[in-house]
């Protein structure tokens, strides 16, 4: 029986970062992966979808050529070449996850399905692995909704849609979360007729309502048909057509398309691990962990999507860092910071967020300040022709940043400065007082922060004092 200091179940980002960190610290590490290294991000998530998003944005810019003083451009492309390009990007980035790289680090790799025998033993392909400590980082998979007729329809999810060889003329999307919206815009820009059905009353239900509504109007102008408050009642297939029957704001409607994409969430991969047998508590949403990422078993940790907390690659990487410290050096006990958790929906324009949104902040604090700055007022945004968007800051009365949301081109990059400020308890005044280069899009972060002083200058007691002091100064001219 092989014996290790740490055995990792799952070869996605969380598992690979932990394996790399622990092995370089001198631990004897085993890594078990049922298929191939890289996880959802490389094979079905961030990497391929951002490649498609970038290509779709280029197509959109070409169609907008008159906006930049150019003659109209005929946009001509082949869907297969776009998908081949996507795969080439995956191959380039996938080199970082090459099994040989981890073998050179001293990590012992096991490929296949396995399960726990006890809290110190994991079995894969009939081989037993003995380990002092374990990390479960098995990720998640697309949720299959319990909609009548769904099991009789050949529908797509975020995995299957990446294997399409032909661009569908029409695409129905159930779910207006990040995955649904990103694919909807991608295929709309490729030329598909796209319809989105969302059960709740707004797209991106976890985001600020004001910004989500602005983004919805932008997507509609992009040619996407969006129906919120739409409860899907039945799905069926007629020949090659997928048919969805839904109740939309009290009215029954019938929708038809060549392809159907279901994007209603994710389910943690915990089946077959025998978690009950080893005392690891899990729920429908994921494995239960404390702030150190430890499960209810004393020598077992979990991180990434399988915990159901923050299904983002950057959070899996962050959580993996906590696991390396806490599993290898138990006396340290690094804890997760759940207040400063950022994410981005990679539509065009992007919608990025960190911390509280307005509605959440008002429930916790009556005395908050909201500062807004529209992209249309920023010189570089006007120069670039990217004026659709808004910065929205949520602060307390002293300028502490409680949350930030940005809708606009490059929002996922722009929000990092607010993330840094929140993490280091820097008030909005510090950003406003820092010189930012003109004309850059980065300067819009300062412009958003400047609204703190703008309010001070034009409201309250300060304007009256200022006028008084100026009048006094005139007496000594």
- In the DSSP assignment, the letter for residue 70 is P
0.85 exceeded by the pTM? yes
Q: What integer pLDDT is reported at residue 463 of this predicted model? A: 65
Please say whether the beta carbons of 427 and 371 come within 8 A.
Answer: no
What are the residue boundaries of the structural domains of the chain, listed by start? 2-142+267-328, 150-264, 349-458
What is the rounded distance in angstroms from the CA atom of residue 328 to the CA atom of residue 276? Answer: 25
90-132 per-position pLDDT tens digit: 999 998 899 999 999 999 999 999 999 999 999 999 999 999 9
Say which CATH topology domain 349-458 has.
Enolase-like; domain 1 (3.30.390)
**Percent of the chain whose pLDDT exceeds 90:** 89
Q: What integer pLDDT is reported at residue 77 of this predicted model? A: 96
Please say whether the beta carbons of 137 and 12 come within 8 A.
Answer: yes
Q: What integer pLDDT is reported at residue 416 of this predicted model? A: 98
Say which CATH topology domain 150-264 has.
FAD/NAD(P)-binding domain (3.50.50)
**What percentage of the chain's residues is helix, strand, coil (to nearest 5)?**
40, 25, 35
Say whether 349-458 and 150-264 share the same fold.
Answer: no
Q: What integer pLDDT is reported at residue 342 of this predicted model? A: 98
Peptide bond into 257 cis (omega under 30): no
Spell out, as residue ranges, where the chain has pLDDT lower than 50.
none
Say which CATH topology domain 2-142+267-328 has.
FAD/NAD(P)-binding domain (3.50.50)
């Amino acid at each position: 029986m092989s014996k290790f200091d740490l055995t990792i179940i799952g070869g996605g980002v969380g598992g690979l970062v932990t394996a790399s960190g622990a092995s370089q610290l001198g631990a004897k590490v085993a890594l078990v992966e049922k298929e191939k290294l890289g996880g959802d991000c490389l094979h079905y998530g961030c990497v391929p979808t951002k490649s498609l998003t970038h290509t779709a944005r280029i197509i959109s810019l070409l169609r907008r050529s008159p906006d930049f003083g150019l003659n109209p451009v005929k946009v001509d492309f082949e869907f297969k070449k776009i998908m081949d390009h996507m795969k080439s990007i995956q191959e380039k980035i996938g080199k970082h996850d090459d099994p040989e790289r981890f073998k050179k680090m001293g990590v012992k790799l096991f490929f296949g399905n396995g399960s726990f025998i006890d809290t110190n033993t994991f079995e894969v392909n009939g081989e037993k692995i003995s380990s002092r400590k374990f990390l479960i980082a098995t990720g998640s998979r697309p949720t299959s909704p319990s909609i009548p007729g769904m099991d009789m329809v050949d529908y797509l999810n975020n995995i299957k849609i990446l294997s399409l060889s032909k661009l569908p003329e029409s695409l129905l999307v159930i779910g207006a979360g990040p995955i649904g919206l990103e694919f909807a815009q991608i295929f709309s820009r490729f030329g598909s007729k796209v319809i989105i059905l969302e059960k709740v009353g707004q797209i991106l239900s976890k985001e600020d309502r004001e910004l989500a509504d602005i983004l919805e109007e932008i997507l509609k102008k992009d040619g996407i048909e969006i129906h919120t408050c739409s409860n899907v009642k039945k799905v069926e297939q007629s020949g090659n057509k997928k048919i969805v029957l839904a109740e939309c704001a009290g009215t029954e409607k019938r929708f038809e398309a060549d392809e159907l994409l279901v994007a209603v969430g994710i389910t943690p991969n915990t089946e077959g691990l025998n978690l009950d047998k080893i005392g690891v508590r899990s729920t429908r949403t994921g494995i239960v962990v404390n702030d150190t990422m430890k499960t209810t078993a004393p020598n077992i940790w979990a991180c990434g999507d399988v915990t159901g907390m923050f299904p983002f690659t950057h959070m899996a990487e962050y959580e993996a860092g906590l696991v390396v410290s806490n599993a290898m050096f138990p006396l340290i006990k690094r804890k997760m910071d759940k207040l400063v958790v950022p994410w981005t929906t990679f539509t065009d324009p992007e919608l990025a967020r960190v911390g509280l949104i307005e509605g959440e902040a008002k429930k916790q604090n009556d005395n908050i300040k909201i500062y807004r700055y529209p992209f249309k007022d920023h010189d570089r945004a006007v120069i670039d022709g990217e004026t659709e968007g808004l910065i929205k800051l949520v602060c307390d009365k002293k300028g502490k940043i409680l949350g930030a949301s940005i809708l606009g081109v490059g929002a996922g990059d722009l929000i990092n400065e607010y993330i840094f400020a929140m993490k280091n308890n820097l008030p909005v005044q510090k950003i406003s007082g820092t010189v930012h280069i003109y004309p850059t899009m980065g300067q819009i972060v300062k412009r958003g922060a400047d609204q703190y002083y703008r309010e001070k200058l034009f409201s309250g007691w300060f304007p009256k004092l200022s006028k008084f002091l100026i009048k006094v100064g005139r007496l000594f001219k």
